[in-house]
Amino acid sequence: MQTKASKSALFPYVLWIAFFVIAPIALVVYYSLLDLHGNFTLENYKAFFTSVYLKMTLSSFWYAFLITFFTLLISYPTAYFLTKTKHKQLWLLLIIIPSWINLLLKTYAFIGIFGLYGPINAFIEVLGFDPKQMLFTDISFVFVSVYIFIPFMILPIFNSLDRLNPTLVYAARDLGASAFTTFRRVVLPLTMDGVKAGIQVVFIPALSLFMITRLIAGNRVITLGTAIEQQFLVTQNWGMGSTIAVFLILFMVIIMLITGQKNKGGRVR
């Protein structure tokens, strides 16, 4: 499983990296070194270390953490129960289908659902409470973000749970382990790769969420992604926008180093 065959397998992928990753990064780094008049400068990097951007970085990480945490919290049991259903592959597909409907449309639907005259408030009124404006709050923002990311978390976890040998669980239970111990010592370690993959595909894009920061959070939440969007599309300060992007990529690399697996090749345990 090495040498020629695998090298040629890597070829289109490496081509992809060269053209669509390295080249754009080079462009971004190049632009990050330009000021508004096209002169070389390090001002943009200096500007990133002002309180506005540092605060923004912190809040991006905080919200990305919250989003990832709740997504995992909801997805793990869902994936676990799904593996136990009769037509599990079908149910899994039905989890993904909602993500194929346009995001902006779904966001507008959420605006309606959370709205003052939406179904949730109608329900609250039936219970005898005063209707509340749920839009433009942290909670609605995290909720909708979690909603968007759930399929991305469920899929990898489902895949790793699905191959889990049930006899292992039975063996552990037979040997007197409690349900919790079995989960912690047997199930969780064996599904760790799936969980890690899930965390990566949620946390990393959550750092650069934009659109819904405006639509659902009304710009009360500002992430690095929003700032980049603004710099590119409004200020047309591609230099500063690129600088923020360089930092986002750096953060991502750090996250990869922390969550990256250290063992070589397949699992040897």
Question: Minimum Å distance from CB 86 to other proteins?
Answer: 9
Closest CA to 162 of 185, 201, 194: 194
- Determine which residue in the list 58, 93, 179, 188 makes contact with other proteins, applying CB under 8 A: 93
Other beta carbons within 10 Å of 23: 11
Q: Which residues contact 68 (CB under 8 A, 6 or more apart)?
A: 149, 199, 202, 203, 206
Closest CB to other proteins among 87 and 127? 87
- Determine which residue in the list 48, 76, 241, 243 makes contact with other proteins, applying CB under 8 A: 241
| Contact positions with other proteins (CB under 8 A) in 98-117 | 98-106, 108-113, 115-117
CA angle at 74 for the pair 259 and 175, rounded to the nearest 5°: 75
- Determine which residue in the list 46, 55, 132, 184 makes contact with other proteins, applying CB under 8 A: 55
- Determine which residue in the list 42, 58, 73, 94 makes contact with other proteins, applying CB under 8 A: 94
Contact letters for other proteins, residues 207-226 (x by CB under 8 A): xx-x---xx-xxxx-x--x-
Closest CB to other proteins among 21 and 185? 21
Closest CB to other proteins among 102 and 176? 102
Q: Is residue 56 part of the contact set for other proteins (CB under 8 A)?
A: yes
| Contact positions with other proteins (CB under 8 A) in 176-195 | 190, 193-194
In angstroms, the CA 5 to CA 10 distance is 9
Q: Is residue 153 part of the contact set for other proteins (CB under 8 A)?
A: no
Q: Is residue 165 part of the contact set for other proteins (CB under 8 A)?
A: no
